[in-house]
Amino acid sequence: MEAKLKELKALLSEVYDLENVAALLHWDQSTYMPKGGAKARGRQMAVLEKLAHEKMTDPKIGRLLEELIPYGESLPYDSDEAGLIRAACRKFEKASRVPAEFMAEFTAHTAESYQAWTEARPADDFSRVAPYLEKTLEYSRRMADYFPGYEHIADPLIAFSDEGMKASTLKKLFAELRRELVPLVKSVTDREPADDSCLKKQYPEADQWKFGLKVIERLGYDFSRGRQDKTHHPFMTKFSLGDVRITTRLKENDLGEGLFSTIHEAGHAMYEQGIQREYEGTPLAGGTSSGVHESQSRLWENIVGRSRGFWEHFYPELQRVFPDQLGGVPLDTFYHAVNKVQPSLIRTDADELTYNLHVMIRFDLELAMLEGTLAVKDLPEAWRERYRQDLGVAPPGDRDGVLQDVHWYADTIGGVFQGYTIGNILSAQFFEAALSDHPEIPGEIRQGNFDTLRGWLTENIYRHGSKYTAEELTKRATGSALAIQPYIRYLKGKFGG
């Protein structure tokens, strides 16, 4: 069995390398590639996707797994070998249902769609990408149909990112969360809003960049195994456990956008950098789900990065970098500015209280598109109407409306956005568990020391990679399944209510 496991690892390593080469091409497309390369890049990525898919569905892997499953079940559940066999089985089973030709076709399409989006958004022109989105919707439905027996057409797409979740589960979770959030948002927005004008002054991009890098290095992002670059829509990507990169975008008249984007993506990257190096080349060498991954970016961005203790340490440094802009601004004013609660148009800039309403809008709209009750041509107006209803604001055009997020233009429609809200909920649940074990963490944050918190996260989450499902990992780390109560306690403790 050990020889067969070694053979399986060798085959899986080839898949892993092909997938990471494709990630490198995507990173290049999103950062430095000239737009003239879009069509060829789509073709190149399609070839790699097809090769990786064919290798992952090789009957030889299927035969090895059949022989190894009983062996894995005979091992302790917590062993790396048993975890690898379980993860490989899940990946093989999903991949085997989808033809390699379909994946190649879809990959080529999303590469072209992404390029169209990069041009359509600044031009505020939804019509440029609408035909691509029509095709994406068709591909998304076809993808779901490779997994017959679903309760809702979105369920297979959701399971790709957050296994164990489905549309009905998320509808119930979101309804429960909305019941708690809506009155809390109202009680806070009924007050005089915080003055955030200190964030809207002129902040030279180069100085923002340097400060952001200094912050994430102190948090624990390892620059010997990573780097940061600029892009249209920030993301984290990994080419190996020794090369985990992040991207950000900066605005010279908005200090918060680049800084918190940088911390957010560093949270994702520290998760990947914390995975056991022995998992390299296997399906274990990655985060276990979209929701758990987002829990780390949101934990570092919000629970840590927007905390008063964090700024008690970093604000004097920030004032030294920007003396003209912040020299006369008290810490209290700055702290309330970065935590201002106000309904807004942009999800990535949204405050902690209203953020999940942005996610719920997208979730409902993509379900409607998949169900056939909302046509792509009607999406911009449906978007505006939901923003009027839920947040009391509406975008003047599509750039800050339906074009603001890259996801539908570079992936499936369905199965992407729910991870953000699951991540918000889990971020508080994990942080509460860390504080239970280490009550000294808040005091250490005030001193600019993040070792204990990062150590707890590494021990309980990062190092395991995909060895456990999200549900298993959450129970192991916190003692309970996903629950909104820690998140609501956190929000009420911070914002009142």
Q: For 301-310, what is each residue's pLDDT tens digit? A: 999 999 999 9
pLDDT in tens, 478-492: 999 999 999 999 999
Q: Is 290 within the bounds of a domain?
A: yes
Residue 349: predicted pLDDT:
87
Q: Give yes or no for residue 209 having a pLDDT over 80.
A: yes
Whether the per-residue pLDDT at 186 is higher than 80: the answer is yes
Cross-strand partners of 229: 247
> Which domain does 453 fall in, by range?
167-495
Question: From CA 299, how far away is CA 429, in angstroms rounded?
Answer: 10
Residues 106 and 179 in one domain: no
Torsions phi, psi of 354, nearest 5? -95, -10
Are 42 and 105 contained in the same domain? yes
Q: Which residue has the tokens 């702290």?
A: 335
Residue of 356, 387, 260, 270 lying closest to 311 (CA atoms): 260
67, 173: one domain: no
> Can you state the angle between helices 100-123 and 130-145, rounded to 10 degrees?
150
In a domain, 158, yes or no: no
Which of 123, 152, 179 represents a domain boundary (last residue)? 123
Q: Provide, rounded to the nearest whole percent, the portion of the chain with pLDDT above 70.
A: 100
Mean per-residue pLDDT for 201-208?
98
Residues in the chain, how many? 497
Please report the pLDDT score of residue 250 as a whole number. Answer: 96
The mean pLDDT of the chain is 97
pLDDT classification of 43: cutoffs 50, 70, 90: very high
Q: Which of 98, 123, 148 is the last residue of a domain?
A: 123
Instruction: Tell me, yes or no, whether 178 and 114 share the same domain.
Output: no
Q: CA-CA distances (angstroms) from residue 77 to 80, 244, 256, 332? A: 8, 29, 44, 50
490 within a domain of the structure (yes/no):
yes
Place of tokens 């998760």: 271
Tell me, yes or no, whether 288 and 356 share the same domain: yes
Statement to judge: residues 174 and 75 lie in one domain: no
Residues of the chain with pLDDT > 90, as a percent, come to 98
Judge if 381 and 448 occupy the same domain.
yes
Tell me how far apart the terminal alpha carbons of the chain are, to the nearest angstrom: 58
What does the pLDDT read at residue 497? 59
Whether 157 is covered by a domain: the verdict is no
Q: Is 440 annotated as a binding residue?
A: no
Q: What is the pLDDT of residue 23?
A: 97
Asked if 257 and 400 sit in the same domain, the reply is yes
Across the beta sheet with 243-248, what order do the strands follow? 228-230, 243-248, 236-240
Output the furthest CA–CA distance in the chain (Å, rounded): 69
pLDDT digits 0-9 by tens, 70-80: 999 999 999 99
Whether residue 377 sits in one domain with residue 247 = yes
User: How are beta strands 236-240 and 243-248 bridged, if at all?
Assistant: antiparallel
The catalytic site residues sit at 265
Q: Mean pLDDT across the stretch 195-205?
A: 97
Does any domain span residue 461? yes
162 within domain boundaries: no
On whether 407 is known to bind a ligand per the annotation, the reply is no
pLDDT category, 226, cuts 50, 70, 90?
very high
**Claim to verify: residue 93 and residue 213 sit in the same structural domain:** no
CA-CA distances (angstroms) from residue 465 to 152, 210, 246? 29, 30, 18
User: How many structural domains are present in the chain?
Assistant: 2
**Looking at the domain assignment, is residue 129 inside a domain?**
no
Residue 16 lies in a domain: yes
User: Is 294 a known ligand-binding residue?
Assistant: yes
Q: Which of 64, 96, 123 is the last residue of a domain?
A: 123
pLDDT grade, residue 437 (50/70/90)?
Answer: very high
E-assigned strands of 224-274? 228-230, 236-240, 243-248
The string of DSSP codes covering 69-134 is HHHHHHS-TTSHHHHHHHHHHHHHHHHHHS-HHHHHHHHHHHHHHHHHHHHHHHHT-GGGTHHHHH
CATH code of the domain covering residue 374: 1.10.1370.30
Could you tell me if 235 and 311 lie in one domain? yes
pLDDT of residue 496: 86
Cβ atoms of 416 and 407 closer than 8 Å:
yes
Q: What is the DSSP string of 164-219?
A: T--HHHHHHHHHHHHHHHHHHHHHHHTSPPP--GGGSS---HHHHHHHHHHHHHHH
Kindly state whether residues 172 and 230 are assigned to the same domain. yes
Q: Do residues 380 and 404 lie in contact, with contact meaning Cβ atoms separated by under 8 Å?
A: no
